[in-house]
Amino acid sequence: MAEDANASGRAATVARATANVYETPGGEAYVIEVPVPGLTRQEIVVEVDVGTITVRTEPARPEEEEGRTYLVREHLVEPMARVFEFPADIDTDNVRVILEQGMLRIRAPKAAAGRPRVVKVAPEK
């Protein structure tokens, strides 16, 4: 857990988001998968820079129901954050972010200079 300042200026606990990160089979992009069950698009912030992607969640607090006394309360929705760093620059204009069935998927294409490519041997003149 890390500490971050909340809107009131007090320290708030921020959990580290879990994720799967992989490179596509052709090596043209990175993919990040972050489970965010129960969150909406409005509660997720994705910031993209040339070599990093930051994912933060800012979940709305559920309203307490009057008269409810919890015996066990394990499902707490807490803010999460994570910075992902990449060895190659990212094409920031073409990053796609999709939220589907509680899974946030980010596809970040590598910048043209960072992509592997095959150079064919030119024929003799």
Q: What is the mean pLDDT of residues 84-100?
A: 94
In angstroms, what CA-CA distances link 27 with 12, 18, 23, 24, 111?
38, 23, 6, 5, 11
Residue 114: which pLDDT band, with cuts at 50, 70 and 90?
Answer: low
pLDDT at 25: 95
Number of neighbouring beta carbons within 10 Å of residue 41: 10
Of 39, 41, 43, 19, nearest in space to 31 by CA: 19
Q: CATH assignment of 14-61+72-113, given 3.40.50.2000, 3.40.50.1820, 2.60.40.790, 3.10.690.10?
A: 2.60.40.790
The rounded Cα 70 to chain-centroid distance in angstroms is 32
Q: What is the mean pLDDT of residues 9-20?
A: 73
Which pTM value belongs to this model?
Answer: 0.75
Which tokens hold the place of 46?
A: 């994705």
- Taking the C-alpha atoms of residue 89 and residue 62, their distance in angstroms, rounded to an integer, is 39
Q: What is the mean pLDDT of residues 91-104?
A: 95
